Amino acid sequence: MGTFALKTGKDDQFYFNLKAGNGQVILSSEGYTTQAARDNGIESVRKNSTNDERYKRLESSNGKPYFTLTAANNQVIGRSELYESNSAMENGIESVKKNAPDANVKEE
């Protein structure tokens, strides 16, 4: 089962990482100015993670694939790591779809 790992950055903003059952980070949030806004971001990930249309498949400046997860308003609510191949990126998307809806939340 996945976990939303909560943390506070050196910039005093609030973040979360969605981790798969093996502990690997599969989605990272933007910085939020309040804990409540971060918690809303987690709920948005839960809600939107199963909808394939919410994933934007992109390519970094060095040619590596990655994806973002967007809310209904097209705001990015999470970003993946850079992957070595498109198939690895697709596996990452499937992992978010599988882990996000029922993931536990814990402070790191």
CATH number, domain of 18, equals 2.30.29.80
Q: How many domains does the chain have?
A: 1
Residue range of the domain that includes 99: 3-107
Cα 33 to Cα 11, 43, 105, distances in angstroms: 10, 16, 19
Instruction: Please give the Cα distance from 12 to 7 (Å, whole number).
Output: 10
81 alpha carbon, distance to own chain's centre: 9
pLDDT tens-digit profile, the chain (108 residues): 899 999 999 999 999 999 999 999 999 999 999 999 999 999 999 999 999 999 999 999 999 999 999 999 999 999 999 999 999 999 999 999 999 999 999 998
Q: Which amino acid is at 94?
A: E
pLDDT for position 108: 85
25, 2 contact by CB (below 8 A): no
